[in-house]
Amino acid sequence: MGRSVAILGLLVGLVASACGGPTGTPATPTVAPSDGASGVGAVATPAASPSDAGFTGGTATATVTLPAGAVAYAGGSCEHGPGDAWVAVNIGAPNGAEYFGLIAGRSPYSPAGAGTAAGGGTLKGDAVVVTYRHAGVTFVLEHDTATVVLIVDVSGGTFSGHLADGTSVSGTFAC
């Protein structure tokens, strides 16, 4: 059940981003963001409020790096599919001001031909979804540019790609 919740949380975040602006109680970054490319400024770490319904209190971390700076996320969860077929990372509330979500591998929601996360390596295309919210604005890496490189034990890795406006994004995540 936990795996379905993790994937559902990431999908809720993606649907919320496609349907408009932020909803729910926003998380509070520990450093106020400054203006920059794609709305990202100085490093910010989300701190979930008690009324946020999301993925908090775990050990998952992620850092999203853009030309204007980096945004750090901490205290989320990682879920692994059977046989490490997929890994899902969720940090924060999907509809909150600060959220990071990643799915890499053949999840129950990806096409059957998507590669699996087992053993690590490079995944692209249908096997990858990376999204994040910063200061209430949602960003999703473009499907055709998103790449995730998993370490062998699938406990972390790197990601890269471009946003719709062409901004290059890279980062790291760890369980």
The pLDDT tens digits for 9-18 are 444 344 333 3
Higher pLDDT among residues 31 and 77, named by residue: 77
pLDDT 10s digits, 107-166: 988 888 899 999 999 999 989 999 999 999 999 999 999 999 999 999 999 999 999 999
- Cβ count within 10 A of residue 50: 6
Q: First-to-last CA distance in the chain?
A: 19
Give the total number of structural domains in the chain: 1
Distance of alpha carbon 123 from alpha carbon 113, whole angstroms: 12
Q: In the prediction, which pLDDT does 56 show?
A: 63
What stretch of H or E contains 72? Answer: strand 69-80
Q: Which domain holds residue 79?
A: 2-174
pTM: 0.72
* Whole-number CA gyration radius for the chain: 15
- Sign of the CA dihedral 167, 97, 93, 42? positive
Length reported for the chain: 175
127-164 residues labelled b (16+ CB within 10 A) or e (exposed): bbbbbbbbbbebbbbeeebbbbbbeeebbbbebbbebe
